[in-house]
Copies of this chain bind each other. A is one copy, B any other.
Amino acid sequence: MRAAVMYSAGDIRIDTVADPQLQQPTDAVVRVVAGCICGSDLWPYASMEASATGSRMGHEFVGVVEQVGDEVKGIAVGDFVIAPFVASDGTCEFCLEGLQTSCRHGAHWGGSADGGQGEKVRVPQADGTLVVVPAGFDEALIPSLLALSDVMCTGYHAAVAGGVAQGKTVTVIGDGAVGLSAVLSAKLLGATQIILMGRHQARTDLGREFGATEVVAVRGDEGIAKVKELSGGDGTHIVLEAVGLHTALETALAIVRDGGVVSRVGAPQYTEVPFGFGGFMRNITLTGGVAPARNYIPTLLPLVLDGTIQPGRVFDRTVDLDGVPEGYQAMADRQALKVLVRP
């Protein structure tokens, strides 16, 4: 089969690789109907050291089950499934608590395993990992179903971990696909004020459609001052940090109200957090982390199927496998918000 392989920063190719096979009786093989490129894929695209074997790419996909192992009970050949961005057994304590990203038998896509940017994927722990979409859905929903693999659930995790609820005020930092998903999630959970910090108008316009009540298109001290002004001088109850850079976290800590919560879902590109005596005296909480998407899909899937939410609107370009390298470059150049891949 064909799949995307990254060999070094900026060098991603479509190779012919081995077809996936069932290896464990708990495995399934899924034919990818739609995958996509993640903002986090841009980190290796910017900085990966050269590798002779390369690294398979893509951790978000939906598709049709082609094979299942003998021990797979809940997934059948022909099912249309959503794959969360981490595999999980569904039975360990962490999975039962809804923290499937800490599963005792978890696995990641890509690297030396199959990735979502390819024709097929071997799925470990298929029963625990995959979520079946009831048959008969409109194919136009595929982008929104795909968004449940990662980006929408990541935004939703930010909002849930941050305690967004009816009447809360929220700032979302970052107008990437995760930030916009965080806006949509904050709206869904009842936030009354949603300030979106972002500088790309096409994106912030979608953010307004998703529920942002104000947009702040400046950053740094100017952005901090503007958010404070919009929030009565105190900052907002909750800040959803969807970037991952140290500067974004500094901004988050500056614009959160005393007693409030910074919930981060941007993968940290920093090791130290400036969170000493000042944040302590203000009783700020720092929470969030990698999103257990598997935990949220059962909640969000019905809302996609009935049209309540359309998280797939974050996809603004579609490519086939041959178009994947161009898709990476378009996202790196911010010419595309998020690229959907139809193998």
Contacts and interface: CB of A to CB of B under 8 A. Distances in A.
Interface of A: 94, 97, 99, 101-102, 161, 258-259, 264, 267-268, 270-277, 279-290, 292
A274 to B, nearest CB: 6
A210 to B, nearest CB: 24
Contact of A273 (B94, B273, B285): B273
Copies held by the complex = 2
Given A161-B283, A281-B290, 8 more contacts: A102-B259, A102-B283, A267-B277, A267-B280, A272-B273, A273-B273, A275-B275, A283-B288
A271 B279 contact: no
A58 B17 CA distance: 72
B272 A99 contact: no
Contacts of A279: 289
A197 to B, nearest CB: 20
Given A259-B102, A273-B276, A275-B273, A286 B289 contact: no
Given A94-B258, A258-B102, A286 B275 contact: yes
A319 B272 CA distance: 43
Contacts of A280: 264, 267-268, 288-290
Contacts of A259: 94, 97, 99, 102
B276 A268 contact: yes
Contacts of A99: 258-259, 283
7 contacts: A94-B259, A101-B281, A102-B259, A270-B276, A272-B273, A272-B276, A283-B290
